[in-house]
Amino acid sequence: MSASETSLRRTPLYARHEAAGAKLVPFAGWEMPVQYPAGIRAEHLTVREAVGVFDVSHMGEIETRGPRALDFLQRILSNDVARIAVGAAQYSVLCKEDGGVLDDLFTYRLADERYLTVTNAANHDKDLAWFQRQAEGFDGVEVVDRAADYAMLAVQGPQARALVAGLAAGGAEALPRRFRVAEATVAGAPALVCGTGYTGEDGVELLLAPDDAPAVWDALVDAGAAPTGLAARDTLRLEVCFHLYGNDLMESRGPIAAGLGWCCKEETGFIGSEAVRAARDAGPSELLAPFVFTGPGIPRQGNAVVGGGEVTSGTLSPSLETGIGMAYLPVEQAVPGTEIEVDVRGKLRPAVVKEKPLFRKGT
């Protein structure tokens, strides 16, 4: 085993994945299950039709607390943090001064002066350093790294809530609505239950003490949740056009071109707001747009689009049974119904730009 392999971190559920026959791969410094023996397509369709459970314990958490926690977060997050009620969640981006995107984040307000922000795994150290640097000289706020304090399980699918309710003290009444968060006991373990996810399906995400994660995982699987790997998580999110940092979001592009202007409230004066306002006023030269192949082929990140543009995410959609993706395109091409061609390893593959999301229930 190489030194790089031995340095990979493992979640509290590593032994469960290994015992289940998961294919484990390096991901953002972690050894993570990319798929289980059932395969990506089966896992994907199970989440669309029933319920799957994902180990997303590689995600990071930052707690911000103190009498000026709101003022601080309003300064660094793009959305209007003042609108997050206690027990609610909000999506935002973290921007540099030039408007480039450092990360996209969910923030949960746990109490009047206490917030928990979930970071992408590959960005956690960078995000934490950014939070800490911006907090220097900012009285009345404390930034705490909580990544080691939580394991995170995502239970997703049309049957997810009913399954978790069956394991929760208090049943369905104990679970929060979408974009809300609540403390609950699940399978005997205290948890933060978040009404969020990354699949386009209903469900919850559970933040637990790492030592409690294996028993809760076992209870979820025993109740019928199918273990689901990161590959299906990617195909699920792409079908509904959710962004993936490092593919669709990056420091060299801003939120307006990425179609995330809706979560940017420049009037709050967040870091990067002037650059974001300028981009909004001038109009971007390119836009991130979803597309579907009209013939054979599978698009991949980095594929060029004829006439300008680049694919940022691509896959074979298990639900639509065709190649799908997202690409930054010149504005005039980023219009639903526009026909484009994607260069896939030297072969031009025809595609058509679509509206978001690419997959809708019942279609």
Residue 222 contacts residue 166 (beta carbons within 8 Å): no
Enter the tokens of residue 158.
């049309």
Report the distance separating Cα 60 and Cα 258, nearest Å. 23
Q: Dihedral angle at the C-alpha atoms of 328, 200, 353, 305, nearest 10 degrees?
A: 40
Q: Could you tell me which residues are annotated as the binding site for substrate?
A: 205
Task: Judge contact between 162 and 76, C-beta under 8 A.
Answer: no
CB distance 181 to 110 below 8 Å? yes
**CA-to-CA distance for 359 and 320, rounded, in angstroms?**
7
Residue 168, beta-bridge partner list: 186
On whether the CB atoms of residues 88 and 116 are closer than 8 A, the answer is no
CB 327 within 8 Å of CB 238: no
CA distance 233 to 82: 31
Computed over its alpha carbons, how large is the radius of gyration of the chain?
20
Contact 108, 91 (CB under 8 A): no
What tokens were used for 244? 């993936």
Pairing of β 347-353 and β 339-344: antiparallel
Nearest Cα to 356, choosing from 288, 294, 274?
A: 288
CA 107, CA 194: separation in Å to the nearest integer?
11
> 144 is written with which tokens?
């705490």
Strand 181-186 and strand 189-194: the pairing is antiparallel
Which amino acids are annotated as binding site, given as ranges?
A: 205
Identify whether the C-beta of residue 314 lies closer than 8 Å to the C-beta of residue 239: no
